[in-house]
Chain A
């Protein structure tokens, strides 16, 4: 465990720790371009060089291991001067097209220029011309002139995806990053290349010219694209509806979690969050006409209470999917399984391609929670629909699932005719919402706090980015209202309180709370 002093602060780090990481542990940030903690060391950008006592030359912090008694200066005049000079070389041929560059505002060149650059430019020659605005694949755009050839993208496709698309061709000042002619950057993790690009050379096509990044707010959350639960940063726009075609979610970036996804996420998750602000349900509807929560609750609770009193819970069908938060699943169990003894279906499955990295076949983010709550043994959705069509059900409540995915439009129509009560609760319009008698607008997952439990039994918090629009309410809020009307008043008023009640009764969750789950999640105790 060598002891090392960086900028006057001392730390003891394990053998082999690079100065870069030792500094990070001390809260000292050393500028970097080519260094990325998830990739091998290239050592080519030369901007992380620091002054080390008794060493005549500055050394790269990303590769030089801490040694006993080493004294490092990251902010000495010489370190800053040399860093500034590297920056001048990096910017000499740079097009300086920040006004039309999506990276502006989160660009390593801009940031470091303002931090320690601030030199008077000496470059008066004609800049090298390279290719601009080259679409590399469905998600990534290349600008060779902005590239500083740090080789992060090359190492990413070599080491992480092992697909080897990126290369640096030619040499010297003619060096350029690109793909083999005719190849397309379409591996399932392609957009991470744009994330790790420290400059505006690789940018996301999906986000192209949508908004300047300084207009974005962000909330930590978890991807709902599959059961892996990659940690994400939801980046959204508030109060600027003229940007991003009025959509609030602007983009999703992976959030580092060494236990789940490191620095990465797949493109399906990143771009598959769906139309949050499109065809959004914002009004309670009855038979196609605007209605209100009071009227809805009154009608619905009347039907449910009647069934309860007559011990006819089996006349109530519930179709749902494991994309609700754990707290809502707990309420589903309380209300429909325990109080009403209703036909609570098994979660509607959703499956797709998988790989041995981050992409899981189970496309629902919270199946593990459904299993934990014992909710996976109910009848299939198709069975429930069949029972309804055969007249064995009086009421059907659908949470978010679009029945149109597995039955004909005519069937949906028949259901609405046959059932005494047909409720659709969800955030977006779909074929089911069109046919349902009651439409209860609910929050999209980005509008809720709560937890998902991923396929590795890790409880993770999803974060509310912004409020649900119009009259729509979070599913848990709606369920709490129903519970009250069924004579089971709950004292809980928010997901955390629901979680605590649930955790008290479910062994693997015992002792957990939102604080303990934190930003990185917590593994559940083994059953």
Chain B
């Protein structure tokens, strides 16, 4: 077969997976990129023809997602993460070292990227499809050697081995299997018995009730009660219903879903079968972030096994219940973790959040009732079915049951993934699980649930980690991604990184987010360039406040959080930076001491710098006016 007929056949097969041809947009673009290395205008036209959409729509999608390339790829591509968790561990320095070594090497391209959700191995990078880290001098040399060599394929010598919990009680039981837990082992340990029980002996409504009683809450970060969410699906709707597993893990500081996908994919699949049965959905999608190559491969392997063993497909285990599962890869857009943006993306568009109502449970994927659950949430479901709601809820607090996976990164002695009851105290997670800060340093601050949650000072670490306790200290939800700052961290560097992340990831629909995130980032960059003014801090707080609460989705509220909490809790540090320039931290983004600022109207020599006269800027303007 020629290349062309292979592509045509694949395209036909891909389009056939979806209810509407346009939904095949992302996978068709992936097909082209994997085949040709990039997406050419001819490729866009090809996709446009196959899907029956205007070529403009195709270009919109190609330009929206950061992973699609419109130029031929290099032989090797190194993506170096400099998002907050990597930044704290010297990500910028790593990037520079890699650039020094490989910047001039033919066939190697180096990109600085936002969080790849492998913060346990920070500072990390992705060489082609493989994650690698932590990148110290030795491993960086290895990486450089590998990228610089003409050989292709994965390399084992750099496979990271961070600490990963493996003793359960719910989610991490099989995480010791570094190469994944496959059907025989999973089934041998009682796997799929929960699905069997649900499908054979329970009504869908009984499943929903059981899950409601378990106090399982959405572990993607919003914390909405899962059983309640499922109960929103209209029972009398003649439309098909959909279940979507949200594996678009992207919250900086979070890497839990990756481990479930890689090491225990059947647990997720079993959870999906039960959830789909509960809402009477016969088609489920797994939306997985594009950078997760290996997790997607492993999940696909599990999928094949499940089909082969009759746990997916028509009439599962003779229960009369049928379910198809389709894996849909994203292409590099954090916003697609937002459930309505995810649906837009799944339908073949840009990842634009949608106005609510209607909520997805009423009108979601292809206009049909849809439930979107996080991977970890779904992976908890088999336990609940098998062991009963009570055992699950007893592990947690009154309103939030079970355990969850805590991703701990940053300045701790043992970064990694830990499973603990949701009622665990933050300080215990840091000190007992992750063994506290390294080298006897003091903790300065902690981000308790991914970059979108408020930062806590060392004094605030006593809080328990269930959603209600977090809410009582002003933290709404969270992904369980804990980022620890020790005293060597620079808050300006942290804010620069966080604001860059949100400016990069805003979808751009709503004005206050599109402009606000970028405006804030520009101010912080200006401060980092030594051109800050004390009033910038108040402006930052005011802009962050103004941009909140206005928009289609809550992305901008997340984006406002670092600005508000870092500045309000560490204001003196920011003021120091503005007044005196670079701090003692190695991470400080400032290169020079603060320059005396020249007024935009051209401050004549000899006048006091407006920095000193901050708050009296009208006065100095008046002085200028007199002189002019």
Contacting residues, chain B, for A181 (C-beta < 8 A): 41, 59
Contacting residues, chain A, for B526 (C-beta < 8 A): 125
Contacting residues, chain B, for A58 (C-beta < 8 A): 550
CB of A215 closer than 8 Å to a CB of B: no
| 0 or 1 for each of B480-518: is its CB under 8 Å from A? (1 = yes) | 000000000000000000000001111111111011111
Using A43-B355, A173-B508 as known contacts, say yes or no to A167 and B57 having CB atoms under 8 A apart. Answer: yes
Q: B504, B514, B522, B547 — which one has the most chain A CB atoms within 10 A of its CB?
A: B514
Q: Can you list 9 pairs linking A and B with CB atoms under 8 Å apart?
A: A46-B510, A85-B512, A85-B550, A89-B512, A125-B522, A149-B509, A169-B63, A172-B518, A183-B55
The DSSP consensus for interface residues of chain A is loop
| 0 or 1 for each of A156-192: is its CB under 8 Å from B? (1 = yes) | 0010000111111111111100011101000000000
Compute how far the CA of A43 lies from the CA of B54 in the bound complex, rounded to whole angstroms.
Answer: 23
CB of A36 closer than 8 Å to a CB of B: no
CB of B551 closer than 8 Å to a CB of A: yes
Using A57-B549, A125-B519 as known contacts, say yes or no to A171 and B507 having CB atoms under 8 A apart. Answer: yes
- Chain A residues numbered 281-312 whose CB sits less than 8 Å from any CB in chain B: none
B interface bracket (residues with beta carbon within 8 Å of A): 35 or more
CB of B208 closer than 8 Å to a CB of A: no
CB of B76 closer than 8 Å to a CB of A: no
Contact between B355 and A92 (Cβ–Cβ < 8 Å)?
Answer: no
Contacting residues, chain B, for A170 (C-beta < 8 A): 63-64, 508
In the complex, which residue of chain A has the Cβ closest to the Cβ of B536?
A: A124
CB of B8 closer than 8 Å to a CB of A: no
Choose one: A125, A167, A174; the contact of B508 (CB below 8 Å): A174
CB of A449 closer than 8 Å to a CB of B: no
CB of B108 closer than 8 Å to a CB of A: no
CB of A526 closer than 8 Å to a CB of B: no
CB of B460 closer than 8 Å to a CB of A: no
- Chain A residues numbered 84-130 whose CB sits less than 8 Å from any CB in chain B: 85-86, 88-90, 92-93, 122-123, 125-126, 128
Compute how far the CA of A175 lies from the CA of B504 in the bound complex, rounded to whole angstroms.
Answer: 11
Using A88-B546, A181-B41 as known contacts, say yes or no to A46 and B551 having CB atoms under 8 A apart. Answer: yes
Compute how far the CA of A92 lies from the CA of B516 in the bound complex, rounded to whole angstroms.
Answer: 9
- Chain A residues numbered 39-59 whose CB sits less than 8 Å from any CB in chain B: 41, 43-46, 49, 57-58
Contact between B355 and A171 (Cβ–Cβ < 8 Å)?
Answer: no
CB of A370 closer than 8 Å to a CB of B: no
Contact between A46 and B550 (Cβ–Cβ < 8 Å)?
Answer: yes
Contacting residues, chain A, for B543 (C-beta < 8 A): 122
In the complex, which residue of chain A has the Cβ closest to the Cβ of B55?
A: A180
Contact between A148 and B550 (Cβ–Cβ < 8 Å)?
Answer: no
Contact between B550 and A49 (Cβ–Cβ < 8 Å)?
Answer: yes
Contact between A90 and B515 (Cβ–Cβ < 8 Å)?
Answer: yes
Contact between A171 and B508 (Cβ–Cβ < 8 Å)?
Answer: yes
| 0 or 1 for each of B245-272: is its CB under 8 Å from A? (1 = yes) | 0000000000000000000000000000
Contacting residues, chain A, for B509 (C-beta < 8 A): 44, 149
CB of B243 closer than 8 Å to a CB of A: no
Contacting residues, chain B, for A90 (C-beta < 8 A): 511, 515
Compute how far the CA of A168 lies from the CA of B517 in the bound complex, rounded to whole angstroms.
Answer: 19
Contact between A173 and B517 (Cβ–Cβ < 8 Å)?
Answer: yes
Contact between B355 and A41 (Cβ–Cβ < 8 Å)?
Answer: yes
Contact between B59 and A169 (Cβ–Cβ < 8 Å)?
Answer: yes
Choose one: A44, A45, A60, A167; the contact of B56 (CB below 8 Å): A167
Compute how far the CA of A148 lies from the CA of B507 in the bound complex, rounded to whole angstroms.
Answer: 14
Q: How far is the CB of A50 from chain B (nearest CB, A)?
A: 13
Choose one: A57, A122, A168; the contact of B60 (CB below 8 Å): A168
Using A126-B522, A180-B55 as known contacts, say yes or no to A171 and B511 having CB atoms under 8 A apart. Answer: no
Contact between B519 and A46 (Cβ–Cβ < 8 Å)?
Answer: no
Contact between A86 and B503 (Cβ–Cβ < 8 Å)?
Answer: no
In the complex, which residue of chain A has the Cβ closest to the Cβ of B538?
A: A122
Contact between A92 and B63 (Cβ–Cβ < 8 Å)?
Answer: no
Contact between A45 and B511 (Cβ–Cβ < 8 Å)?
Answer: yes
